[in-house]
């Protein structure tokens, strides 16, 4: 691939990013979109402004969100987004620092050595092939290879030192949060599952007798988990009524768009059928939490101290590992109530099933990845599809096909991965929303590294030399001499498409924006699906950040040009994600923070 093809891909992605950034600066000012881009609390504050529908500034792009994102402090992000947001932002800061060092070092030392590695007549820079900027252009046994090794050691040592200080900083913040949240009862609670069934007494009595016997000095009380379908229905109706009563725009009519707003169904029922309202009132007065649902073999146990709760959560309560299973309780807002009713004995079957399903999904994605590699190789593409030779001889078409199309196809295929992995994590039986996101995050991370990194390199080697497996001893030599350096051509375009344009898409929130438009202006509902606020998609963004870190550390010396693209990506990500973290709501301030710290810094 020539430099001109890379520049073509960069130009297209820069144009798309500019359009999306401008579109976001306009859409975020529209009152109908405030619940898409802001949490409920911030949306209510902003609804007091922009009352004039003909306000001119609402339709003019402005960089005000960039300034606000830059000025937002870590304390504000911690208060709004929780410890998860701070860990994620610090990961971006670490990436900017390490890739700044690598970019300066490799651009000044390694890149000239690669470019002049062989005695040859160089073309104009736009007509040069990307191979001349990689280690493929260095002669075998060159006396300048020590410079490559020195740069690699400096980058590795710098990464270890920076990682140490960042981890120390995050640990300090986590301890400060624990000390400052003494009123958080979830830190004094333990979730107990797998309570044995007894014909003589209920689950509640069993758990009280057990903890009174084995934890007499620290046990305080417990709360059973119930199947409460009626209460869930009442809570849903109450939420709908709250949206109508306390959302100023929900009780008005929108005649400017030609639609008239209607009341939620819950009000229509109460107004049109008084006898049903009286019946519901009597049921609500006689409804008791314990009689409203069947007891589940799970309960929240409250202890006197956090130390006692931590010891009880980590201790083995029974010789049978399937009984009396204890975990630290997630925050109330973080509990995924649907999975608490699942019998603990099913979890092993669920995990095995999701593991097999994930493996099958990995195998399924081998086909699109191989297709992408065939598109990246123009000679191979002409050989496979002879009827395209005439079209591919045009310079612009060849640049578009080799420089932009492969990464776009792979990115489109990968849009199906996060929802599928989130479904697998839900089926797996996670007891918290943050735990479900952490499981999906790990699955997407492994899936991305395997399919984007390893399979792309392996498929490129197989397509170029189909007899590579006839001599297994030559596989490392084939990878080192040509396959890995040659794969950087695709990875550079992938950073442009999935990185730069992916950030712009994350900022605009295209899918929630379309759903909000359908709900409000086509279905004529007073509320959209995201009126409660969006949660930050850690399961999609953390794997992307870590994948690009892996690409940068692997190709820093092999092809230094990718470092410049990654540095631009991380600088944009720093602004975009600070903006998103400050506006989105979160699942739990502490539950995901514990696990996200491990995911990000272990991955880094």
In 280-404 the beta strands, taken as DSSP E runs, fall at 294-303, 325-328
Cα dihedral sign, 419-421-426-427: positive
Each residue's pLDDT tens digit, 4-16 = 778 888 888 899 9
Q: What pLDDT is stored for residue 256 in this prediction?
A: 36
Q: How far apart are CA 126 and CA 145, in angstroms?
A: 27
Mark 498-523 as b/e (b = at least 16 C-beta within 10 Å): bbbbbbbbbbbbeebbeebeebbeee
| HSE, side-chain direction, 13 A CA sphere, residue 320 | 9
**Residue of 576, 448, 561, 550 whose CA lies nearest to 17:** 576
**Residue of 145, 119, 115, 142 whose CA lies nearest to 130:** 115
Q: What pLDDT is stored for residue 482 in this prediction?
A: 60
Average pLDDT of the residues in 109-122: 80
Each residue's pLDDT tens digit, 72-89 = 888 888 887 788 889 999
The DSSP annotation for 431-485 comes to SBHHHHHHHHHHHHHHHHIIIIIIHHHHHHHHHH-TTGGGSGGGHHHHIIIIIHH
Q: What pLDDT is stored for residue 401 in this prediction?
A: 63
Cα dihedral sign, 104-105-111-112: positive
Average pLDDT of the residues in 498-518: 87
Burial of 248 (0-12, 13-18, 19+ CB in 10 A): exposed
Q: Using an 8 Å Cβ cutoff, are 562 and 495 in contact?
A: yes
Each residue's pLDDT tens digit, 246-273 = 554 444 433 333 334 444 444 444 444 4
**Residue of 543, 523, 533 whose CA lies nearest to 584:** 533
Instruction: Please provide the average confidence, as pLDDT, over all residues in the chain.
Output: 77
Identify the weakest region by mean pLDDT among 205-209, 230-234, 381-385, 563-567.
381-385
DSSP 407: H
Q: Give 264 or 61, the one with higher predicted confidence.
A: 61
Cα dihedral sign, 189-190-191-193: negative
Stated length of the chain: 604
Task: Say how many C-beta atoms besides its own lie within 10 A of residue 280's C-beta.
Answer: 16
Q: Which residues pair with 222 in a beta bridge?
A: 301
Q: How big is the chain by its Cα radius of gyration, in Å?
A: 28
In 217-293 the beta strands, taken as DSSP E runs, fall at 219-227
Q: What pLDDT is stored for residue 29 in this prediction?
A: 83
Q: What pLDDT is stored for residue 338 in this prediction?
A: 84
Q: Using an 8 Å Cβ cutoff, are 602 and 164 in contact?
A: no
Q: How far apart are CA 113 and CA 253, in angstroms?
A: 69
Q: How far apart are CA 370 and CA 406, in angstroms?
A: 10
- Model confidence at 292: pLDDT above 70: no
Q: What pLDDT is stored for residue 212 in this prediction?
A: 93
- Percent of the chain at pLDDT > 90 equals 25
Residue 449 vs residues 275, 373, 445, 551: alpha-carbon distances, Å: 60, 16, 6, 10
Q: Using an 8 Å Cβ cutoff, are 402 and 494 in contact?
A: no
Q: What pLDDT is stored for residue 270 in this prediction?
A: 45
232-235: Cβ within 8 A, 24+ apart: 234/284
Burial of 372 (0-12, 13-18, 19+ CB in 10 A): buried
Identify the weakest region by mean pLDDT among 250-259, 311-320, 519-528.
250-259
Q: Which residues pair with 302 in a beta bridge?
A: 189, 221
Q: Using an 8 Å Cβ cutoff, are 434 and 591 in contact?
A: yes
Strand order, beta sheet including 294-303 = 219-227, 294-303, 189-193, 325-328
């Amino acid at each position: 691939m020539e430099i001109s093809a890379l520049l073509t891909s960069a130009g297209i992605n820069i144009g798309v990013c500019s359009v999306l950034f401008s579109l976001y600066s306009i859409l975020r000012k529209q009152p109908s979109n405030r619940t898409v881009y802001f949490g409920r609390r911030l949306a209510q504050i902003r609804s007091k402004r922009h009352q004039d529908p003909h306000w001119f500034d609402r339709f003019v792009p402005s960089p005000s969100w960039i300034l606000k994102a830059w000025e937002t402090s870590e304390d504000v992000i911690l208060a709004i987004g929780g410890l998860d947001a701070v860990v994620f932002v610090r990961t971006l800061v670490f990436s900017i620092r390490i890739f700044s060092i690598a970019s300066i070092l490799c651009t000044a030392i390694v890149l000239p050595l690669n470019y002049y590695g062989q005695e040859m007549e160089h073309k104009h820079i736009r007509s040069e092939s990307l191979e001349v900027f990689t280690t493929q252009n260095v002669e075998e046994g060159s006396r300048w290879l020590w410079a490559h090794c020195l740069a690699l050691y400096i980058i590795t040592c710098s990464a270890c030192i920076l990682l140490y200080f960042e981890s120390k900083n995050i640990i300090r913040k986590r301890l400060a949060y624990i000390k400052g949240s003494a009123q958080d009862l979830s830190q004094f609670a333990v979730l107990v599952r797998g309570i044995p069934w007894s014909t003589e007494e209920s689950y509640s009595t069993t758990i009280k007798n057990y903890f009174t016997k084995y934890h007499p000095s620290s046990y305080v009380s417990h709360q059973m988990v119930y199947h409460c379908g009626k209460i869930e229905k009442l809570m849903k109706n109450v939420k709908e009524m709250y949206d109508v009563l306390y959302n100023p725009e929900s009780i008005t009519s929108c005649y400017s768009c030609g639609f008239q707003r209607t009341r939620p169904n819950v009000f229509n029922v109460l107004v049109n059928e008084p006898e049903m309202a009286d019946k519901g009132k009597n049921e609500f007065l006689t409804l008791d939490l314990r009689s409203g649902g069947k007891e589940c073999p799970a309960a929240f146990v409250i202890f006197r101290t956090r130390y006692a709760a931590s010891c009880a959560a980590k201790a083995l309560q029974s010789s049978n590992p399937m009984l009396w299973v204890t975990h630290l309780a997630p925050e109330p807002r973080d509990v995924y109530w649907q999975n608490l009713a699942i019998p603990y004995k099913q979890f092993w079957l669920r995990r095995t099933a999701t593991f097999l399903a994930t493996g099958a999904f990995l195998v399924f994605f081998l086909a699109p990845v191989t297709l992408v590699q065939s598109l990246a190789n123009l000679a191979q593409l002409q050989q496979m599809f002879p009827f395209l030779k005439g079209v591919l001889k045009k310079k612009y078409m060849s640049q578009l096909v080799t420089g932009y199309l492969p990464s776009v196809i792979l990115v489109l295929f990968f849009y199906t991965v996060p929802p599928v992995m989130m479904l697998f994590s839900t089926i797996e039986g996670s007891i918290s929303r943050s735990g479900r996101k952490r499981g999906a995050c790990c699955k997407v991370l492994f899936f991305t590294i395997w399919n984007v990194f390893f399979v792309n390199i392996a498929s490129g080697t197989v397509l170029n030399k189909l007899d590579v497996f006839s001599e297994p001893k030559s596989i490392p030599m084939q990878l080192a001499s040509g396959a890995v350096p040659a794969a950087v051509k695709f990875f550079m375009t992938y950073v442009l498409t999935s990185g730069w344009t992916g950030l712009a898409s994350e900022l605009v929130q295209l899918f929630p924006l379309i759903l909000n438009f359908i709900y409000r202006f086509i279905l004529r509902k007073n509320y959209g699906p995201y009126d409660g606020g969006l949660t930050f998609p850690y399961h999609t963004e953390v794997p992307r950040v870590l994948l690009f870190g892996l690409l940068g550390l692997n190709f820093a010396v092999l092809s230094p040009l990718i470092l410049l693209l990654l540095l631009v990506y991380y600088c944009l990500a720093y602004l975009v994600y600070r903006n998103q973290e400050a506006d989105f709501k979160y699942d739990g301030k502490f539950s995901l923070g514990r696990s996200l710290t491990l995911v990000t810094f272990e991955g880094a």
